[in-house]
A and B are shown apart, each in its own frame.
Chain A
Amino acid sequence: MLKVDNLKINYGGIEAVKGISFEVPDQSIVTLIGANGAGKSSTLRAIAGLVKASGGSISFDGEDITSLPTAKRVAKGITLCPEGRHVFPDMTVLENIKIGAYLRNDSLEEDIQRVYKLFPRLEERHWQLAGTLSGGEQQMLAVARGLMSNPKILMLDEPSLGLAPIIVQEIFNIIKRINQEQGITVLLIEQNANMALKVADRAYVMETGSITMTGTGAELLANDEIQAAYLGRKK
């Protein structure tokens, strides 16, 4: 479905991503893990069209989208929940949810109820300005907003950041559910590699701008090196 080929990203001369290639098959969950600053977020931003790729190509459903503007990519069904939430602080929770469905013209009612069910806290606070929500609440809102666009592929950049353990589990359950029930493809970045690898069909490990390892979630979970480097299990 999504294919990244030899993608390179430059920030003022510094190469943050150094020619990576990977694929996200239809209806799968794929995760990118790696240390801070490895270039994971940059990769997702490039796929969403927020940063220009300095080399390589990105194709979606067999179509080259490398030079398409962000809005057009969203229209094709690529949605990114950015790192750091980025809710619209001066809009209410409900407005934030609605704007997630900006490109849709059908009725939203059902979907709104669905995300409310996923995140009851949001229903409770639907009138509140998003800027005053707690960190975790904002994170929920960002994920909810992403779901509203009915994407073909949903890219989540550290969705569990700052969430309470119980919600973290919930988020991963939701990821699995939307993948299975709605058939949404998911591309996930997580620091919580442990859980990410558990839900992932396929995983890629990034280090300083390159992909150094790949395998199914289970394979990597069992890998000693990965355990030492990302799962915090010494030995």
Chain B
Amino acid sequence: MSLTTFLQQCLTGISLGGAYALIAIGYTMVYGILRLINFAHGDIFMMAGYFMIFAMASMPWFIAVPFVLLVTTVLGVGIERVAYKPLRSAPRMSVMISAIGVSYLLQNLATYLFTALPMAYPEIPGLKKIFKIGGLSASFVTFFTPVLTIVLVYLLITLIHHTKMGMAMRAVSKDYETAALMGIDINRTISFTFAIGSLLAAIGSILYFTDRMTVFPFSGSLPGLKCFVAAVFGGIGSIPGAVVGGFVLGMGETALVAAGYSTFSDAFTFVVLIIILLVRPTGLFGEKTTNKV
């Protein structure tokens, strides 16, 4: 493999990893707080893609982008209200099924409304600008994604560990009742968590789809699954973990495909995951559950 090809592959790996990381953070946020695998996360991400298509059709990009972020956030919070809130005291499995149900619903709704055919994702000026250095070529998003990811991680960690809202989120994640006894408004905290999670999905969707150019009803399902794996890999609930997980999977996958083992690129994701879990049963940076007898 020539050096150019190698570097090009590295760029690909980094940009894929960055996109995975962004989505994985959203998973980890919601899981960390609600102990809920939000299967609909990938589909919220897909819907954000469609929102952008329609928004850009009728407004300039600098209005469309905030608009899409807002609408996606509202969608996420709305889903929480309708599908998860009534199940606060139900078995965890029911909530998960509800999440799967929402995921089905969004996919089916998208198929119904927008057909199964892919739709072109609009270009946001600047993001798609292609840089060519020697034989290498990469667009602006390729560099922008990892940087933005790191910035967001910093902000989120600050939020969770150094603000009151963050403290409330962590308390709610353990025990609704006791959290309420501390004066924490459970519903507001959870809504807030979903808002952040969906916002991240929306940001992730802009970067991801800009790089991949089309949206179809199942666009969210595979990244959804992979990013969930990335989140588990890093230790679900841990934000730096999700980022590391995202990059490891993105780059590992790229390396494998580049080496000609596409067949195992999906399986690879899981092999890596299982190896990590065997060594560290709660993921790379996962907190050990404290369960004193």
Contacts and interface: CB of A to CB of B under 8 A. Distances in A.
Classify A-B as touching or not with yes or no (CB < 8 A): yes
A50 B177 contact: yes
Interface residues of B, number: 21
A100 B171 CA distance: 11
Interface string B136-172: 0000000000000000000000000000100110110
A103 interface: yes
B132 interface: no
B185 interface: yes
A178 interface: no
B291 interface: yes
Contacts, number: 72
B292 A99 contact: no
Given A102-B168, A131-B292, A132-B292, A88 B175 contact: yes
Nearest to A48: B181
A89 interface: yes
A133 B182 CA distance: 20
A70 interface: yes
B177 A99 contact: no
26 contacts: A49-B180, A50-B180, A69-B180, A70-B180, A70-B181, A71-B184, A71-B185, A74-B180, A74-B181, A80-B181, A82-B178, A82-B181, A86-B177, A88-B178, A89-B291, A90-B170, A90-B174, A91-B171, A91-B174, A99-B167, A102-B164, A102-B167, A102-B168, A102-B171, A131-B291, A131-B292
Interface string B263-275: 0000000000000
A95 to B, nearest CB: 7
A82 B291 CA distance: 19
B175 A86 contact: yes
A167 interface: no
Nearest to B177: A50
Interface string B173-199: 011011011111110000000000000
A88 B173 CA distance: 9
Interface of A: 48-50, 69-71, 74-75, 79-80, 82, 86, 88-91, 95, 98-100, 102-103, 129-133, 145, 149
Contact of B171 (A69, A88, A133): A88
B180 to A, nearest CB: 4
A50 B177 CA distance: 7
Nearest to B181: A80
Given A98-B167, A131-B290, 20 more contacts: A48-B181, A50-B180, A69-B185, A74-B180, A75-B183, A82-B178, A82-B181, A88-B170, A88-B171, A90-B174, A90-B289, A90-B290, A91-B170, A91-B171, A95-B167, A102-B164, A102-B167, A129-B290, A131-B291, A132-B290
A74 B182 contact: yes
B178 A89 contact: no
Lowest 7 CB-CB distances: which A-B pairs, in order? A131-B290, A74-B183, A70-B180, A103-B183, A86-B178, A102-B182, A71-B185
B164 to A, nearest CB: 7
Given A71-B183, A82-B181, A99 B171 contact: yes
